[in-house]
């Protein structure tokens, strides 16, 4: 899904380690969203999506640093569905550092990641390698980022995993394996498989919006 929106005059973008876009929120009690685009997206790509599912929340949207055929991504892959796992770990650590920088720069609580495809995969890697950085996550069409993730303590961390039953990119078995990794780490996981492909649907937006309304703001 590519959703582009013009830059808002309210945006205030500090010089941080990722090129990014920040949109202040209207509700100080709303959990900030960390928006993570898919392959070929950028920092503007999910802004409209963020506003649709959390109208009053602060939005933090970085651009992936890895280029593949001129398209930004959050980590390298060897081929479709096969990831460079050393790079996944490196890039997840970089993203965790950026979240820390952005929280300090913008005065944010711990964010809830909302990632699509490659962005969902790096969000899953961030959960499994740097627990505590995120207050939760909405993973849209995510697959296993690490075959053998480190032992993580995600006790009570809320995660919504929305998979496509007709997704040609993410096999159902792979999504189920990711769900197992998250549950084994203690995440409070809600995994739904929708009758859709890899692209996003109105059902994704409705489920994400309703789920986000239940996630409390965390200052952790």
Choice among 37, 42, 61, 117 that is catalytic: 117
Joined together, the tokens standing for residue 175 give: 């999504």
Q: Is 201 a catalytic residue?
A: no
Which residue matches tokens 């809320």?
158
Joined together, the tokens standing for residue 17 give: 């380690």
Give a three-class secondary structure readout of 63-98: CCCEEECCEEECCCEEECCEECHHHHHHHHHHHHHH
52 three-class SS = helix
Considering only CA atoms, which of 94, 134, 92, 143 is closest in space to residue 114? 134
Cα 72 from Cα 98, distance rounded (Å): 17
Choice among 97, 190, 198, 218 that is catalytic: 198
Considering only CA atoms, which of 119, 107, 145 is closest in space to residue 25? 107
Choice among 42, 45, 167, 204 that is catalytic: 167
161 three-class SS = strand
Q: Is 198 a catalytic residue?
A: yes
Give catalytic residues, as residue numbers. Answer: 117, 167, 198
């Amino acid at each position: 899904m590519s959703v582009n929106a013009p830059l808002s005059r309210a945006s205030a973008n500090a010089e941080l380690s990722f090129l990014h876009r920040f949109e202040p929120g209207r509700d100080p009690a709303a959990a900030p969203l960390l928006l993570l685009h898919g392959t070929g997206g950028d920092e503007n790509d999910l802004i409209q999506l963020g506003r649709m599912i959390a109208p009053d929340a602060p939005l933090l949207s970085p651009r992936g640093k890895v280029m593949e055929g001129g398209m930004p991504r959050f980590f390298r892959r060897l081929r479709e569905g096969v990831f460079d796992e050393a790079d996944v770990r490196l890039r997840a650590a970089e993203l965790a550092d950026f979240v820390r920088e952005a929280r300090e720069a913008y005065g944010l609580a711990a964010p809830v990641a909302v990632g699509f495809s490659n962005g969902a995969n790096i969000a899953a890697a961030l959960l499994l390698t740097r627990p505590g950085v995120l207050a939760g996550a909405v993973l849209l069409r995510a697959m296993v980022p690490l075959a053998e993730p480190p032992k993580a303590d995600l006790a009570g961390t809320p995660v919504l995993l929305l998979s496509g039953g007709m997704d040609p990119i993410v096999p159902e078995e792979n999504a189920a394996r990711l769900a197992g990794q998250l549950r084994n780490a203690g995440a409070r996981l809600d995994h739904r498989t929708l009758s859709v492909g890899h692209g996003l649907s109105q059902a994704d937006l409705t489920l994400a919006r309703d789920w986000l309304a239940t996630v409390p703001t965390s200052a952790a």
